[in-house]
Amino acid sequence: MKSKIASIFEKCKKEKRPALLTYTVAGDNTKLNSLKILNTISKHADILELGFPHNTPIADGGQIQGSSHRALKNGLKLKDVFEIVKKFKQKNPDKPLILMGYFNLIYQNGENNFLNNCKASGVDGCIIVDLPYPENKKFANKCKKKSITFIQLISPTTPLNRMKKIIKDSHDMIYYISMLSTTGGKLKVSPKNILRNYSKIKKINPKKNLVIGFGITDKTISALKSANGLVIGSMLCKTITNSLKMRQNPVTKLDKVVYNLKNKIL
């Protein structure tokens, strides 16, 4: 059976537009609000990435660190993350949801236990930031057995040979990191250059769905819209931070921001 992730990419291709992927952190700024955010922005977004926060992230910039910190300060636990996913999926059964985070939480939870929880709550895919290829083969296979998409990452530093191996072992979606940066860095490479690298990867296997993330904002998203998918994360976390500062409702703020982002890639 085709995965929900694969289906959504097909649909977007038919509509001649990239898939819009959003990243928000579970429990930011509260459990309830993060669920409301998912429910609201899923009107515009095609795939929802949900971060399970870790307090010692080695690849996240300030914005996502801030969101994670807020969530953890509120006492968010992994079981809450699955509860949020479950509630979201009850309302939006066809909307793909991807969990993203660091391996230690899975390691402590137990790989099998974690994946059972994923399955039970309706998670469609996993991105594990610090479990690179080929070390991730075992876990990726476990995901596959449960029909959960394991998303491999490729970065500008990945050599061609390695890229080929990663792509060969990849599932329904691959994530290309736009530049040398933690999440949310200023885009220091031109969209043209990013797309040039993107095409190189696509050429290896044109059938694979390749999304671009890191440093994308409303300013740069339309210049990248020839990709299969585009991920916006830090900009959304920043929106939550700012709306809390201004005592505004983060849910309605994010609704607007994601709506605007969507319009820029149509």
Partner 1 sequence: MSLKIKKGIPLIDQHDKNFMYGGKFGGNFIPETLKKPIDDLTRLFSKLRKDKKFLRERDFYFENYVGTPTPFIKLENLSDYLGGAKIYAKVVSEANGGAHKIYNATVHCLIAKKAGKKFIVGDTGAGYAGKMLSMAAKKFGLKCKIFMGAKDIKRQRPNVEAIKKNGASIVPVTSGSQTLVDAVSECMRYWVANNDTTNLCVGSTVGPNIFIKICAWSTAQISRELIKQVKEEFGKIPSKMKLLNCVGGGSSAMGFWNEFMDTDAEFIGVEAGGPKNSKLHAAPLTNGSKVGILHGAAQYVIQDKEGQIGSTESISAGLDYPGISPLHCFLKDTKRARYTSASDEEALEAYKLVSKLENISPSLEPSHAFAEAIKLAPKLKSSDVIVVNSCGDSLKDKDIIKQKLGAYIR
Binding site for partner 1 (CB under 8 A): 54-61, 65, 69, 72, 77-78, 102-109, 129-133, 135, 153-159, 162, 177, 180-182, 185
CA 206 – CA 187 distance, rounded (Å): 25
124 is catalytic: no
Distance in Å, CB of 77 to partner 1, minimum: 6
Choosing from 28, 60, 80, 255, the catalytic residue is 60
- Looking only at the bridges linking them, the beta strands covering 209-213 and 173-177 are parallel
* Catalytic residue status for 60: yes
Q: Which element (helix H / strand E) includes 63?
A: helix 62-73
Whether residue 57 contacts residue 31, with contact meaning beta carbons closer than 8 Å, is answered with no
Strand order in the sheet with 229-232: 149-150, 125-128, 97-101, 47-51, 19-25, 229-232, 209-213, 173-177, 152-154
Three-class DSSP category at 180: coil
How many helices and strands, by DSSP H and E, does the chain display?
11, 9
- Least distance in Å: CB of 90 to partner 1? 25
Residue nearer to partner 1 on the CB measure, 154 or 254: 154
Helix (H, G, I), strand (E, B) or coil at 35: helix
Q: Which is nearer to partner 1, 77 or 225 (CB)?
A: 77
Distance CA 197, CA 174 (A): 14
Residue 166 CB, nearest approach to partner 1 (Å): 8
Among the listed residues 264, 263, 262, 184, the one whose alpha carbon sits nearest the alpha carbon of residue 220: 264
CB of 16 to partner 1, least distance (A): 30
Nearer to partner 1 (CB atom), residue 141 or residue 252: 141
Please say which residue, 7 or 109, places its beta carbon nearer to partner 1.
Answer: 109
Report, in Å, the least distance between residue 252 CB and partner 1: 29
Identity of the residue, 45 or 84, whose beta carbon is nearer to partner 1 in the bound complex: 84
CA distances from 129 to 12, 196, 207, 259 (A): 26, 24, 24, 27
Least gap, CB of 129 to partner 1 (angstroms): 6
**List 49, 124, 172, 255, catalytic entry:** 49
Nearer to partner 1, 103 or 259 (CB): 103
**Residue recorded with tokens 């998409």:** 149
Tokens 């998203």 found at:
221
- What residues are labeled active site? 49, 60
